[in-house]
Amino acid sequence: MYDVYKIRDDFPILKEKVNGKNLVYLDNAATTQKPLSVIDAIADYYKHYNANVHRGVHSLGVIATQEYERTRKKVANFIKAEDSSCIVFTKGTTESINLVAYGWGRKFLKEGDEIILTVMEHHSNIVPWQILAREKGLKLKFIPLKDDGTLDIESFYSLITGKTKLVGVTYVSNVLGTVNPIDNIVDAAHSVGARVLIDGAQGIPTIPTNVKSLNVDFLAFSAHKMLGPTGVGVLYGKREILEDMEPLLGGGEMIKKVSITDSVWADVPYRFEGGTPNIAGVIGFGKAIDYLNNLGMEEIFKYEKLLTTYALEKLSGIDGLTIYGPRDISLRSGIISFNYRDIHPHDVATILDQSGIAIRAGHHCAQPLHSVLGIPASCRVSLYIYNTKEEIDYLVESLERIEEVFRSGA
């Protein structure tokens, strides 16, 4: 049985006070908090077997390598990948997408080729393609939104041509909370021979995912948005595609052989992991995956739906509050962006912080989407496994007091 109060006991930071108030952390789309098991695993590595991986034959190096590679297998199992060699460790979703852009795109795309993205993409899945498009003469197309905050799939079908080589789409919008129809997108892209890249940063933490059944070519996500440390990311790629890609970083450990005239790359995935990696972070990520698996991803998914439904109902009752994104709970996640009357989002977030409530305010690295919505910024509440209905009630009460503050001129 899902016991959120027992879960909260595993997160030391949730006992902290902020401005004299109990912390209410509602900024999980930016980064999640870490359970004690993850924190302890990182400390344990540095205290007991700190060594580099894949290099030394001494005992500490062997243990560190075993733990590092154990996490790779855990990640593969978590997303149901065919084998762990399809899992590349990076420093985050951003680096993973850049690896695809430069390791695959620079090698295989040519002038006149087309890439289809969406207007709801995070900058991490727009900027690398803009850079590559300028470099190679590519054409970028964007799937528009419907009024309900979902993608206009019919328009997407009309954008696809024989020149389409890649479709890049977010699993879940980091602003609207929209869960995109990946199955339909993959089928349409593959029908013209295009590859599909999924930005899974906001989807993998809560949606049970099977990359084999989704049939995606690339999937990028970050550890820190799913209880793990910062500085660790994942790129999943189909093995045959990864084997044809070029590395992003050249240097130590990503080679089989180096001479003064030439180099031979190491096997997949190691050719993409040049230099000393974030060993402690990867090991900590393994414990985060253990924690999520122990809770059960299906249970996490159901709890998020329950909490999101409650939050939408409560927030919808606030006069003057505009919510963005789908109202149909089956089409959205626990990310809820809104604006409150004519109060600037930064003012809303600052006043909420005085009550111990942490939310996000700004454009959330999604300026094109905010332009489509006709707003410069928004407030964002994002829920995760340890949030409660009581915290949502407190948020609503605090929001209602904000209007009183502005009306009184205090």
* Residue 250 shares a structural domain with residue 194: yes
The confidence band for 89, taking pLDDT boundaries of 50, 70 and 90, is very high
Q: What Cα–Cα distance (Å) separates residue 275 from each residue in 206, 220, 261?
A: 31, 20, 21
* Residue 90 shares a structural domain with residue 195: yes
* Domain tally, the chain: 2
* Residue 308 shares a structural domain with residue 277: no
* Residue 194 shares a structural domain with residue 315: no
Model confidence pLDDT, tens digit, residues 267-290? 999 999 999 999 999 999 999 999
Per-residue model confidence (pLDDT) at position 409 = 58
Task: Print the domain residue range for 243.
Answer: 39-293
Active site residues: 365
* Residue 76 shares a structural domain with residue 211: yes
Per-residue model confidence (pLDDT) at position 408 = 64
Task: Answer with the one of 263, 293, 323 that is the final residue of a domain.
Answer: 293
* Residue 280 shares a structural domain with residue 307: no
Q: What is the mean pLDDT of residues 183-198?
A: 98
For every residue of 107-165, DSSP letters joined together read HH--TT-EEEEETT--GGGTHHHHHHHHHHT-EEEEEPBPTTSSB-HHHHHHH--TTEE
Q: What is the mean pLDDT of the chain?
A: 97
Cis before 181 (ω within 30): no
* Residue 19 shares a structural domain with residue 96: no
pTM of the full structure: 0.97
Model confidence pLDDT, tens digit, residues 35-47? 999 999 999 999 9
* Residue 124 shares a structural domain with residue 175: yes
Residue 259 has pLDDT above 80, yes or no: yes
CATH number, domain at 262?
3.40.640.10
- Say what percent of the chain tops pLDDT 70: 99
- Say what percent of the chain tops pLDDT 90: 96
CATH number, domain at 22?
3.90.1150.10
* Residue 206 shares a structural domain with residue 225: yes
* Residue 214 shares a structural domain with residue 137: yes
Task: Answer with the one of 271, 293, 315 that is the final residue of a domain.
Answer: 293
* Residue 224 shares a structural domain with residue 134: yes
Task: Answer with the one of 259, 293, 327 that is the final residue of a domain.
Answer: 293
* Residue 63 shares a structural domain with residue 99: yes
Residue 212 has pLDDT above 70, yes or no: yes
